[in-house]
Amino acid sequence: MILFQSTAGPSTLTDWLVWVAAVTGVGVLIGVVGWFVSKKAESQTRSRARLSFAAVLVVSLVFLLGAIITLPVSDQITTGLLGLVGISLAALITLGSTTIFANFMAGLMMQQVRSFRPGDFIRVGEHAGRVTAKGLFHVEIQTEDRDLVTLPNAYLITTPVRVVRSSGTVVWCELSLGYDAHHAKVEPLLLRAIEQAGLVDGFVLVRELGDFAVTYRACGLLEDVKKLITTRSDLRERVLDVLHEAGIEIVSPMYMNQRQITERAIPERVRAGPEAESSPPEDIIFDKADDAERVENIRKSLNEAREAIKALEDEHSRAKGEDQLERQKAIGEKIEHQHKLAEYLQSQIARLESQVDKSE
């Protein structure tokens, strides 16, 4: 083929015209394939789309090298051009290799450790939120302000990562009371507040005996960790209400206020009106994290469906005996059902990933 031949003699106008026509044709073909891949990527899962784009990138690089090799010039010039391309690629890799390679190796390690997954609450240094994406080079979290923070994997393996367990976490509220409030009276009230906040297995700790106040911590187990932010606020509200109803001031003797000694720093009781129905703030704050968790769960179901297909195909090939045809027919129906389920799950993943990308 002319496209992959190299001419050692002096170039002619015909050689250049043939080279330009061949390179233009192949370039147009690669461009059409790239456009088709980009359009099809909208209906693919994100991982498959990345593989498709990587394949197009590799083909483009091979095309560039092939175009240089087939130039109708002397071998010396061709060798020089190839050396220039090699030096350029080596310089790019060298400049970015330290950070990129470190993040890549950290990503591989985290894929094996699997300490957290999309949708989990994590805290890394001063950053906290729910995981929305976990890749080979970075992890993205959605904070309590609904913002997105990207953390390099190299940073994650050098900084302790605190993960909120999906089975439940302890929610607590800390407050200080004066020594005039006896702990035997305070602790039952705090336990009542914990129960009213929807927490289970509540307990109260005396954290510190200060010079002027006693520090208490009211703790309880939250089983639905998706309500973490709301429950923290609810617990503080219940502590306020319960202690004020019992006539206990949530102030220590360090509280500075000119007043009569008989006056109490407790607000007047207010009759609460009917609460308006509204969605939890977590639905707004962690919308992308919720979608990422759904994608992860659907992907898990997709892998299970593919494993079921493989197991059924093995069973289909081993079916023997008098009722072989009937058994193979029944197994074939199950395989067809699993294939349809896998296609549906794959379309759901693509739809949710597209929805996440549009919301950014």
Region of poorest pLDDT, from 20-24, 174-178, 306-310, 353-357: 353-357
**Contact predicate 118/132, CB 8 Å:** yes
249 contact partners, CB below 8 Å, separation of at least 6: 177, 178, 181, 243, 255, 264, 265, 266
pLDDT of residue 4: 42
pLDDT of residue 58: 76
> Per DSSP, what are the bridge partners of residue 141?
131, 149
Tokens of 200: 């289970």
pLDDT, tens digit, 9 for 90 and up, residues 130-166: 998 888 888 999 988 888 899 999 899 889 999 998 8
Architecture category of domain 169-283 in CATH: 2-Layer Sandwich (3.30)
Tokens of 90: 């080596």
Class at the top of the CATH hierarchy for domain 121-163? mainly beta
What are residue 122's phi and psi, to 5 degrees? -135, 155
Element (H, E) at 8: none
pLDDT, tens digit, 9 for 90 and up, residues 234-276: 999 999 999 988 888 886 556 655 555 555 555 555 555 555 5
Compute the mean pLDDT over every residue in the chain, rounded to the nearest whole number: 78
Confidence band, pLDDT 50/70/90 cuts, at residue 97: low
pLDDT of residue 185: 92
b/e code 178-211 from CB counts within 10 Å (16+ = b): beebeeeebbebbbbbbeebbbeebebeeeeeee
